[in-house]
Amino acid sequence: MPELIDTVRQLLALNRIDLVRYELQTEIEQTPRRLAALADELTERQSERSLQESASSDAAAALRAGEESLAKMEKRRERAQQRIPMLKTSDQVAATQREIEAIGQDVDGLELELLEQMEGLEQLNARLANAQRAADDTKAALEDGEKAWEVRSPVALAEMEELDAERAPLAGELRSDFLRRYQLAWRQRGKTNSTGVTTVQGRICDTCNTEVSARWLQESRDYVALHSCQSCKRLLLFDPDAPSRSREPEEEPISPQ
């Protein structure tokens, strides 16, 4: 039996565990951050809603004040019109008519202003309704997320402990230089996908599309040497227990997933 075949099995098993651990660790780290971001977003949306409420309230107050002013003008015009029959001279009548005309112009101008204020208030109320919905939706998403994570968190931590317990003996049995090379491969995850091993198509690494030495590939297939892709540093491992290898020894390696 080739000298490295058991080491390859251990490395593939370790990588399968680490793939699950990576997803789990990402969930454990990112979920609280996502919830914190939702909490910040909720604060912003509630602040925006408060600003819209204040703007709508001010606009409504201004509209009421304008309507009160309009009502007073209408009463002044009505009283002036009621005085006309009681006036004794034509000068008095003419003066009162000019007063009525001036009040009418003021009324027309104020009515136009009030119409514009009404339209503005409608727009503000629409923005307020949108801000309220956005705040409500964000609050609901945050509450649902917090409830779900309250249930999921202890389960995820327990799963991580189980994986760590399963991983420890595998890592402990590996030669230190092999383990360091595997760990180096995982440190490259920011550049490519998160894994410690790679597969090939022909002589091309699937991870980084770099051509791999034919001698390295053959020695890896024969389990007589442990090689890594020169570019992405992933280990070139061929699963000795894959059904396709037992049928066709010269096939390209299947994914260790």
The amino acid present at 149, given as its one-letter code, is W
pTM value > 0.85: no
State both tokens at 10: 């251990």
Sheet strands (E) in the chain:
197-198, 200-201, 204-205, 235-236
Rounded distance, CA 126 to CA 240, Å?
A: 66
Closest CA to 41 of 146, 137, 148: 137
Q: What pLDDT is stored for residue 245 in this prediction?
A: 52
Measure Cα distances from 197 to 135, 178, 180, 226, 230 in Å.
45, 12, 13, 11, 12
Q: Per CATH, the architecture of 10-174 is what?
A: Orthogonal Bundle (1.10)
Q: What pLDDT is stored for residue 97 in this prediction?
A: 93
Mean pLDDT of the chain: 90
* Pick from 30-39, 144-153, 207-216: least confident: 207-216
Q: What pLDDT is stored for residue 255 in this prediction?
A: 42
Confidence check: pLDDT of 200 > 70: yes
Rounded distance, CA 98 to CA 77, Å?
A: 11
Q: What pLDDT is stored for residue 244 in this prediction?
A: 64
> 62: exposed, middle or buried (C-beta count within 10 Å: 0-12, 13-18, 19+)?
middle
* 232 three-class SS: coil
Rounded distance, CA 109 to CA 105, Å?
A: 6
Question: Concatenated DSSP letters for 59-73?
Answer: HHHHHHHHHHHHHHH
Task: Give residue-wise pLDDT tens across range 164-192.
Answer: 999 999 999 999 999 999 998 888 765 56
Rounded distance, CA 43 to CA 57, Å?
A: 21
Task: Give residue-wise pLDDT tens across range 91-116.
Answer: 999 999 999 999 999 999 999 999 99
Q: Give the pLDDT band of residue 202 (cuts 50, 70, 90).
A: confident
Domains of the chain, by residue range, sit at: 10-174, 177-247
Q: What pLDDT is stored for residue 192 in this prediction?
A: 60
